[in-house]
Structure 1
Amino acid sequence: MALYDNKYWLLSHIRNSFISTDDTGMCELIMAGEEGVRKHLKQSLDLYPDDEDSEDEDDLSHESYDLQLDTDFPIRYRSNTAARLEKLEQVRKKTSRMKHVKWETNNSELSQEQVDDLFVRKEPVVSEVKQSLFSKTFKQYRMMPSNPFIEFAKFDGSGQVNLQTKKYRIFLTMLPEHQRNYPMNICCIGSAKVSELIGLILLKCSTMYEDYHWKPVTTYGLYITEEDGEVDRDLPCLDARENISKFGFHCLGLVEHTDPTKYVSFDTSESVIIMRSPFNTSDKKSKDISKSDQEKQITTDLHLMDVHKRAMEAPLYKSYKVYMITKMRAKTEIHLGISGEKIEIDPVQKNSKFVLVKQKPINHDMDMIAWCETVDVKSNRTIFRIIYSQNFGSSSAPESVSTFSPTLQTSASFKSYDFEAEHETAEEIVYKISLILELRSSDTRKEYLAAQERRYYKKKALI
């Protein structure tokens, strides 16, 4: 406790303990004065003062070595008076830019003309609504009659992406001669019926040939047509209720019917549609027809329908199980596949190891086939022959694949295959191939018929 008797220690203790908490700085100012008294007393008691002592050490003697004063030491905040003076200065600058005008009432009244000159009335500007050319055209022709065939526009296949489409060349037989020779290209969806395809054709025709008067859809029919525009008059028109994808013809003719469609009913609750041919317009029957004539007419029409059905199904693929006769007169069981595009010969696989002739599969394009005919008729079997040519295209199997290649005696460019099957199967195959060849009329067939004709005249000349 003896240290408390030293007044200088007490001053140092107060300085180091309380000055750091004095925000006003008054305590530090008072303590700094005591330091001068202490220095004076020390110099008076020291007999040999040191002149070399730096003044800096004396100046820092009143400071504490435990407290390090730096830039982070809290700074005194501004007083409220300074902040208020700054706000007053800002208000004065704003008011200096304002101009005060005193409003005084004018005792002299102005005339109406002066008032109108001072306050001129402005007319409101009405912005004109712009219309596109399509809107003007639509309003102009709004009362025009609609196309009666517009409902068939949904069957148009042009522009379709994910739907199966079919393309046809349509010959318009009712137009003048200089227009009917140029076919119209029509693309429809594969699920459309024949009547819907006719409606789509009439929709296209109504926009291209506006001068012609087009009748309803039931008045027209589609017929099989050659590539040159000649309509096949031997076959009836396509059934309007059938799907168009069922028929494999790409050239069709649109024919206008003169007589309406007739329906004949039988006792078996079945109805048959009989449509009179539009080409035989010369023979007109009287209204009073006897029953015998009606039965004959019905029989003839049914026969025509059967022929028409077989002609429509001819291009469809069908496989037959027949026997192929090789050069050594051996018989090999095969599957004969016939379609409108090609003929396939596929041997039947057998497990027997002792096979005299090993037959490999062969494909021939239908354009290579020249003729098909019946060669021999036996008691229970019929032999028929398919004649083909290798000058037009190439088959999928080489000539050396088969161990037999009998050459046709009439021409070195034609070869043939001989097959044996039952009577009904052979007749169906011959009729199917002959009908396909007649519809396609390939160059191979034309060359074969020309060679046969030359051979006939050559024999006749020798006789």
Structure 2
Amino acid sequence: MAMMDNKEFLISHIRNSFITSDDTGMCEMIIDVDDQEHRGGFASDSGLESSDNELSHSYDILPDMDYGAHRRRSNTAQRLERMKKEKRNQSKVKNISWKDNNLKYNAEEKGHLFEKKVVIPSEQPDTPLISRLSEQLDSSASLGENPFLEFAKFDGKASVGVSTKKIDIFLTMVPPEDRPYPMTVVVIATAKIQDLIGLICWQYTIEMREPPLQENIDVYCLHIAEDDGEVDTDFPSLDSKEPVSKFGFTKLALVQKDVPTSSNKPSIIVTVNVPHRGFNKFQIDSLNISMRDILEKVLKRRKIKVRPGQSYNLEKQVEPGLPVDLDANLSSMDTLEFCLVREHSSRGDYIEVDDGKTSNLAESLTSHQYKSYIVNMIHKIRTKTEVQLGISGEKVEIDPVASKSGTKLFRQKPVTYEADSIASCDMIEEKDGGKSVFRLTYFGHDYKHHDFEGDSEMCKEIVHKMNNILELRLSPVRKDYVAQRDKKLKKRESFHKT
């Protein structure tokens, strides 16, 4: 306790304690004592005298002061540092005052600034001189303009302050080794699918990809794609009129529409009339086909029963009673219309066919008359919607049947297809309980289909009616579809044989 009463010890202890945290040395100088016994002045350990009239005190301790090994600098020190930096920066700046020059420019005195260069003439006098700039302009002009320039405004990378979407686009027209690598496109969210297609074509052309695209964007469409770039053909292409913001897909595929193209070669249509059974038309690729092959086509198409001891032949339509040479080619007939007759009979005789499933003339005409059916339309996720299917020789109509219990999610919208856009109508499944499923294939931007379910007899009638209509119309869509189908069947047969 004696040591705690010693003022000099306390002052020395306090001073030494502040030394560790005060690098200014001020605490050591201001700590002092006011004592009656040292009124003439008290000599501190520092050797300085302090007056008894000047009371000494330490710095005020503030709550935000930092303690420890690293003490925060004061605001004054920070301001001084900033001032020093500003002075250093100002020393690097040079101010130049602007003065008007009253002297006029003398071209003769300053002519050395624009010396005329001597152009060396070409060794070939007939060859005109071309500058380097002209060569660059000519080479850039040869690249041609981007035909999709109008869609550049939908590029999200060049837009500021608007909502955009980043989509990976797989390009199905590039070489196979490049197809797994998508092209990333950033499009503004307000653009439509058609605008996105144009933007893809614009970026494709800018990046100078191969092969070059067709200048008409209507020949392209967008499909949903898997992560590896495979096109999901189970879903139709995206509607070109819908906005991009409606869809949440991050991976799409640019696909060129498979539009049936009419051949430059003239179509060769052979007509064969069948007594009391109407007629058949066949598209022939070449006039070198034999008449025996045409006869076999008719018998196969009509499913005509050839009984033992019977045979059939062809006659020219304009020459009744004169059978043609079946070993001769069509090119030697001078006509494309014939009549099927049974040997030892006339054209008026009745020709039997297999259980009446082939169309006769009356049945063909009846098939073109309008008739409606109530069937169930099967959707992708196996839900069904009751619809009215109307069929005529000109069009096919699908109208939803009003139902209180029907959900809005799978409600079918009314739609009409022209008969020439129908590719086929086939039975695909027979179920228990007298139900069957048939498929109606049509052509939009590509081949698509609708599946329907109904009573087996009604489904067979619908398929039979549609096939009669398709057989008589022979539309380009129908011919192209049949050609592709036959090609696939031949490939499949050759594969199984190997």
TM-score (norm 1): 0.33
More helix by share: 1
